[in-house]
């Protein structure tokens, strides 16, 4: 990968697994991007094209032979002996045609499946590389709609979409070529149909494009609200708001339905259907005229009209196939919108990656979320290696935001955050984050075993290490109370556990990674009083030898901090020891009086 491309992501794969650079450069337009993916499977494209050409050509053999059979019967005397040979020719050609059609369909389906796999891989790795600023502004439901349904539409774009487009195109050309054997003038009807078909198809696709985009957008909106309602089901039920959510869903569903109906309306006015009927009637009339003047015979009329009937396949199929192609391009456009949105953070592969000592410095730091007022202003303090600092303040004072600047979840707008004298932006991002552990109030656990959740930061950790970390976090006892112990499967986000249990597992996960900088963001808020003392001792033991930031309102944790920083409206209002601050800081006293 080029340096420019590597600077656009927080995360890059090993070189052998990276998305090819040619595909990344093709992200400027959906068709170009799709073509860059498809060209990797050019041999399947050749198979699809060969099958389509052979299928159409052999389909034309049937009406031609039927016409010759009729001529043989109308001879005086009838040449009945030819009929057996003609029947055998139809049998053999249609058997070969079936094989070619299978090859065409198989090639198209395999291309579509591989395209879907590759694009899912590209989109997923791209999303992992985006910053938290990006993810916080992107609705999860819409992302899931694009990652599932829109990617699937690209698969359908190839099979059956492009498969039918390529196949039907040959069925338009075949009457042009085969009609010449009867009379040169008989090419007029299929040629006229071809010209008018192309013009009407261009108009159809031009009108269909914005409608297809609107359909995909409406589906994304529908899915976004559905995902939010399901994710926040406790809030919905707790507020008895089910009826309102049903109404919102119904409104979004109606919008999606209306846009689909609009698409169906455009498809219903598909002009080529009329053109086909006119072309067949005009072609038949022309053939009859040529017969009357003695230029062709009856068998030629039958064979020629049989060729014109082949136009039914491309005409009827194009109504669906081109619509499917349009939906695929619309889906690709929506996927590229996600991939091409730039992230402000980069992995900095060549950055500083030494073992941390743990010195942490905030130097005149300012930070604001996009389109928001400043959250932090002029933050300036220093934490020595192994020191424990408590960050306190009222809700909304910027405590959590400050913590997330340490591991570059967000980057400062101005000023510097330094670890061991090195600006965090100059650290290798992976090396930085692997040596910092943040335990938040809202704990995320995966739908996996307890052991795998604890070992998330250290895949492959030994069972003994996992249990040691769990014991340090006071989690071993409740884990062993489950029937399957450490192999107990957790529900999504760990819903089967209490808040305190989830937070103890998060502590165990942090202990196992053995970070040099530990950040506890209100991480003991859900722990019951019975186990609080044990958890406090575990945290105190874990903090020894580590630089620790504790964001909390619990006096029991604040007291044993080496230093306390008071935040108020994004600024440092005071700092010092607990006793000093109780005497000198009104903002600090207010925290404990509320």
| pLDDT of 535 higher than 80 | no
| pLDDT of 7 higher than 60 | no
| pLDDT of 6 higher than 60 | no
**Could you tell me the pLDDT band of residue 419, with boundaries at 50, 70 and 90?**
very high
| pLDDT of 529 higher than 70 | no
Give the highest mean pLDDT range of 385-389, 496-500, 549-553, 575-579: 385-389
Domains contained in the chain, CATH given:
3-340 (1.20.1560.10), 360-593 (3.40.50.300)
Predicted local confidence at residue 438, as pLDDT: 85
Integer angstrom CA distances of residue 488 from 34, 176, 189, 478, 482 = 43, 69, 72, 11, 7
Angle at 394 between CA 390 and CA 399, to 5 degrees: 50
CB 452 within 8 A of CB 446: yes
Per the model's pLDDT, the better-predicted residue between 207 and 420 turns out to be 420
Distance CA 257, CA 506 (A): 44
Q: Which residues pair with 436 in a beta bridge?
A: 517
Predicted local confidence at residue 4, as pLDDT: 39
Predicted local confidence at residue 1, as pLDDT: 37
Predicted local confidence at residue 237, as pLDDT: 67
Q: Which helix (H) or strand (E) holds 572?
A: strand 571-576
Distance CA 242, CA 248 (A): 10
pLDDT by residue (tens digit) across 267-325? 777 788 888 899 999 999 999 999 999 899 999 999 999 999 999 988 888 777 888 88
| pLDDT of 496 higher than 80 | no
Predicted local confidence at residue 51, as pLDDT: 93
| pLDDT of 526 higher than 60 | no
Q: Which helix (H) or strand (E) holds 26?
A: none
| pLDDT of 565 higher than 50 | yes
pTM of the model: 0.72
Burial of 305 per CB tally in 10 Å (0-12, 13-18, 19+): middle
Predicted local confidence at residue 495, as pLDDT: 67
Per the model's pLDDT, the better-predicted residue between 395 and 280 turns out to be 280
Section 78-105 average pLDDT: 92
| pLDDT of 398 higher than 90 | no
pLDDT by residue (tens digit) across 42-91? 999 999 999 999 999 999 999 999 999 998 888 878 888 888 999 999 99
Section 211-237 average pLDDT: 78
Share of the chain above pLDDT 70, in %: 91
């Amino acid at each position: 990968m080029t340096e420019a491309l590597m600077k656009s992501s927080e995360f890059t794969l090993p070189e052998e697994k990276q998305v090819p650079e040619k595909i990344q450069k093709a992200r400027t337009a959906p068709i170009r991007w799709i073509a860059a993916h498809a060209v990797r499977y050019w041999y399947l494209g050749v198979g699809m094209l060969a099958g389509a050409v052979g299928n159409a050509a052999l389909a034309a053999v049937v009406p031609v032979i039927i016409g010759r059979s009729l001529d043989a019967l109308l001879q005086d005397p009838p040449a009945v002996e030819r009929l057996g040979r003609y029947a055998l020719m139809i049998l053999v050609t249609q058997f070969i045609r079936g094989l070619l059609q299978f090859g065409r369909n198989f090639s198209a389906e395999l291309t579509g499946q591989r395209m879907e796999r590759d694009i899912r891989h590209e989109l997923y790795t791209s999303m992992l590389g985006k910053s938290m600023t990006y993810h916080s502004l992107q609705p999860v439901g819409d992302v899931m709609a694009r990652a599932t349904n829109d990617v699937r539409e690209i698969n359908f774009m190839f099979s059956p979409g492009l498969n039918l487009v390529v196949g039907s195109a040959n069925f338009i050309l075949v009457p042009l070529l085969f009609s010449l054997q009867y009379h040169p003038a008989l090419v007029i009807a299929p040629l006229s149909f071809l010209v008018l078909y192309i013009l009407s198809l261009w108009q159809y696709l031009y009108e269909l494009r914005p409608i297809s985009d609107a359909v995909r957008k409406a589906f994304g909106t529908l899915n976004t609200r559905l995902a939010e309602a399901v994710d926040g089901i406790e809030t919905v039920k707790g507020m008895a708001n089910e009826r309102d959510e049903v109404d919102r869903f119904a409104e979004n569903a109606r919008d999606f339905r209306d846009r689909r109906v609009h698409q169906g309306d455009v498809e219903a006015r598909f002009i080529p259907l009329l053109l086909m009927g006119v072309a067949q009637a005009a072609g038949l009339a022309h053939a009859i005229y040529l017969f009357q003047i003695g230029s062709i015979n009856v068998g030629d009329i039958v064979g020629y009209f049989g060729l014109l009937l082949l136009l039914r396949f491309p005409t009827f199929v194009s109504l669906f196939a081109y619509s499917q192609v349009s939906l695929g391009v619309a889906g690709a456009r929506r996927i590229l919108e996600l991939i091409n949105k730039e992230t402000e953070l980069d992995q900095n592969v060549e950055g500083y990656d030494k073992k941390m000592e743990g010195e942490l410095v905030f130097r005149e730091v300012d930070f604001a979320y996009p389109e928001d007022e400043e959250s932090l202003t002029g933050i300036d303090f220093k934490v020595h290696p192994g020191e424990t600092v408590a960050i306190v303040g009222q809700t909304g004072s910027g405590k959590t935001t400050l913590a997330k600047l340490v591991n570059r979840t967000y980057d400062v707008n101005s000023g510097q955050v330094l670890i061991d004298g090195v600006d965090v932006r100059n650290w290798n991002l992976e090396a930085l984050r692997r040596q910092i552990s943040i335990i938040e109030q809202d704990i995320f656990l995966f739908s996996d075993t307890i052991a795998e959740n604890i070992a998330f930061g250290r895949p492959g950790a030994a069972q003994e290490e996992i249990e040691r970390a769990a014991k340090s976090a006071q989690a071993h006892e409740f884990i062993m109370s489950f029937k399957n112990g450490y192999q107990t499967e957790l529900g999504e986000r760990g819903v089967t556990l209490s808040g305190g249990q989830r937070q103890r597992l998060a502590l165990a996960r942090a202990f196992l990674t053995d970070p040099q900088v530990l950040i506890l963001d209100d991480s003991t808020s859900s722990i019951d009083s019975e186990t609080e003392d044990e958890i406090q001792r575990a945290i105190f033991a874990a903090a020894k030898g580590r630089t620790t930031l504790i964001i909390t309102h619990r006096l029991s944790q604040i007291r044993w901090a080496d230093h306390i920083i008071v935040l108020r409206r994004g600024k440092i209002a005071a700092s010092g020891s607990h006793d000093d601050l109780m005497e000198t800081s009104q903002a600090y006293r207010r925290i404990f009086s509320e």
